[in-house]
Amino acid sequence: MPTQRLPRRDLLRLAGLSVLSAGIAACGSSTPAAAPATLVPSPEPTVEPAITSPDDALARLREGNQRFVADKEGHPNSNPARRTTVAAKQQPFATVLGCVDSRVPPELIFDRGLGDIFVIRTAGHTLDHAVTGSIEFGAAELKIPLILVLGHERCGAVKATIDILGGTGEAPGDIAMLVEAITPAVEEARAKPGDLLDNAVEINVTRTIATLSATSVLADLITQSKVKIAGAIYDLDTGVVRFL
């Protein structure tokens, strides 16, 4: 059966009603038109005072840890502009020799960013020629004024050494080298009152400082007051770094 076609006049009338209905619907809509997005400019990065001495560097680490503990991190030097700057040249203000423990990342607990800290980590912050040479390189070539030896409570490497010396643990492979390096701190701690592990952790820090201070490269820089070696203990529970 042939399709019935509407007269042209009726088609025009229906088209007009459709347009009118669409206009009424738009006018009566309760949803306002979306305002154009406003771009908020990024805040200008804070310009920190220049580090002019080892004590300035130590103070900056203290301040960063205070922010970390208070949950008020500033995350300095963590933007693309800083990345561009340090891509051309690095000038860290502190070397941190710490433990490999995953709960003690220096950049986080000191609230620092790209290019700020020259980080070296070994189990129990034990030393060997590569580690000592890296620290000497940072002090002599990069002119880093501060070396911080960072221990932490309940250190697994120190605890393992105590267990092995007590006959309740083993040291396969190169783990024996770690035990050998930490053993003098444990033996010295046995003569002190108090908790053996806590005492051994702190003595391990002070012994590491003494060993580094005696190297020819660092001893000369220390004599010239160009480098300072300090020690600290990190509290796993509170996040506080106790400087020795």
User: What is the model's pLDDT at position 73?
Assistant: 97
Measuring CA to CA, which residue among 132, 131, 90 is closest to residue 113? Answer: 90
User: What is the model's pLDDT at position 212?
Assistant: 98
User: What is the model's pLDDT at position 9?
Assistant: 47
Q: Cα–Cα distances in Å, from 61 out to 57, 204, 217? A: 7, 21, 24
User: What is the model's pLDDT at position 39?
Assistant: 55
Domain-embedded: residue 14: no
Beta bridge partners of 234: 152, 241
pLDDT per residue as tens digits for the range 93-119: 999 999 999 999 999 999 999 999 999
Give pLDDT < 50 ranges for the chain: 1-3, 6, 8-9, 11-31, 41-43
Amino acid, res. 35: A
Q: Cα separation of 1 and 213, whole Å?
A: 106
Using the Cα atoms of residue 117, residue 120, residue 126 and residue 127 in order, give the sign of their dihedral: negative
Q: What range defines the domain where residue 145 resides?
A: 54-243
Measuring CA to CA, which residue among 176, 61, 195, 58 is closest to residue 126? Answer: 176
* CATH number of the domain within which 169 lies: 3.40.1050.10
Number of domains observed in the structure of the chain: 1
The pTM of the full predicted model, rounded to 2 decimals, is 0.81
Domain-embedded: residue 45: no
User: What is the model's pLDDT at position 181?
Assistant: 98
Domain-embedded: residue 212: yes
Q: What φ, ψ does residue 117 adopt, rounded to 5°?
A: -125, 135
